[in-house]
Amino acid sequence: MKIGIIGAGAWGTAFAIHLARQGHQILLWVYEPELFDVLQKTRENTFYLPSFLLNSQIDFTLSLKDFANFSDDVVVAIPSFALRKTLEPVSPLLSGKRILVLTKGFEENTFMRMSTVIHEVTQSRVPVASLSGPSFAKEVAHGFFTSVVIASDGNEVSKYFQNIVHNRNFRVYTSEDIIGLEVGGAMKNVMAIGAGIIDGLKLGTNAQAAFVTRSLAEIKRLGKAMGAKETTFMGLSGIGDLILTCYGGLSRNRAFGIELSKGGKPEEIIVNQKQVVEGYYTIKASHSLSKKLDVDMPITSELYKIVFEAKNLQDSIEDITSRGFKDEDA
Give the pLDDT score at 308.
Answer: 97
The C-alpha atoms of residue 280 and residue 66 are separated, in whole angstroms, by 32
Output the pLDDT for position 141.
99
| Side-chain-facing half-sphere of 146: CA atoms under 13 Å | 26
> What positions carry a catalytic annotation?
188
pLDDT in tens, 13-37: 999 999 999 999 999 999 999 999 9
DSSP SS3 for 26:
strand
Residue 291 phi, psi (nearest 5): -70, -45
**What is the rounded distance in angstroms from the CA atom of residue 233 to the CA atom of residue 231?**
5
- 186-321: which CATH architecture? Orthogonal Bundle (1.10)
Instruction: Decide the pairing of beta strands 49-53 and 44-45.
Output: antiparallel
The domains of the chain are located at: 2-176, 186-321
Q: What is the pTM of this model?
A: 0.96
Kindly report the backbone phi and psi dihedral angles of residue 105, in degrees, each rounded to the nearest multiple of 5, phi listed first.
Answer: 140, 180
Q: 99 has which bridge partners?
A: 74, 128
DSSP state of 46: T
CATH class of 2-176: alpha beta
Distance CA 68, CA 197 (A): 41
pLDDT for 330 equals 67
> Which ranges of the chain have pLDDT less than 50?
none
